[in-house]
């Protein structure tokens, strides 16, 4: 069964590069990013994990905890982390889940048989503090992720969770946002005192409310 947006993120217990964890306990009250890799010692994955480690400060300031997953063993992960740190000039501190029996991969539908019967595709899940799936992005094994986009979407998810707004195409943190369709035009000044612009009756823009 595939996960869909709004579903509860399945909990699990697993061995990782930092020891055994319970997924929910690890996340606590934080947001989470869980993303899968086809295998250890693969070139694209090495760059992805290095990039994630380099962005630790960006994830921290957004209250996001990161976990990676590979179908190889925790012992294999430790050797691979040494290579990642060396080649990407960084330090991997987040856990890499060992999933040799494909248990977590199955829970999160990370194996797509038409792509590979045994290797995970590049799935990425953003999970809110109430343990709901808020974003699913799936890349083929041959294409590395854009982590600037991952951060951009997290900014949008956190903003829209707190305010009745949506973010337009190519939005970046700090730019104008769309007033939610559930807000009556006459109520906009009270809810969004920074001002607003009516482009069409259904398209109302306002400055980002938390900036």
Residue 50 burial (CB count, 10 A):
20
Residues classed as catalytic: 45
Residues in Cβ contact with 207 at an 8 Å cutoff, skipping those fewer than 6 apart: 176, 177, 192, 194, 195
Report which of 36, 60, 22, 27 is spatially closest to residue 131, judged by C-alpha positions: 27
- Taken as a whole, the chain contains a residue count of 211
Pairing of strands 165-166, 122-127: unpaired
> Looking at the DSSP assignment, which residues form a beta bridge with residue 177?
206
């Amino acid at each position: 069964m595939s996960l869909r947006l709004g579903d509860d993120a399945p909990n699990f217990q697993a061995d990782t590069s930092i020891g055994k964890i319970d997924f929910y306990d690890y996340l606590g009250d934080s947001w989470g990013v869980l993303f899968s890799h086809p295998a250890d010692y693969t070139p694209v994955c090495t760059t992805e994990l290095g990039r994630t480690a380099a962005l630790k400060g960006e994830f921290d300031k957004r209250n996001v905890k990161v976990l990676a997953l590979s179908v190889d063993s925790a012992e294999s992960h430790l050797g691979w982390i040494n290579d990642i740190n060396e080649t990407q000039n960084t330090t991997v501190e987040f856990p890499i889940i060992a999933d040799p029996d494909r248990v977590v991969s199955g829970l999160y539908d990370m194996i797509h048989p038409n792509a590979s019967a045994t290797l995970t595709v590049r799935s990425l899940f953003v999970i809110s503090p109430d343990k709901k799936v808020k974003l699913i992005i799936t890349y083929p094994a041959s294409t590395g992720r854009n982590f600037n986009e991952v951060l951009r979407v997290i900014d949008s998810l956190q903003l829209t969770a707190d305010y009745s707004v949506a973010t337009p195409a190519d939005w970046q943190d700090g730019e104008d946002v769309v007033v939610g369709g559930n807000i009556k035009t006459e109520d906009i000044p009270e809810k969004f005192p920074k001002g607003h612009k009516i482009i069409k009756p259904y398209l109302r823009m306002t400055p980002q409310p938390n900036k």
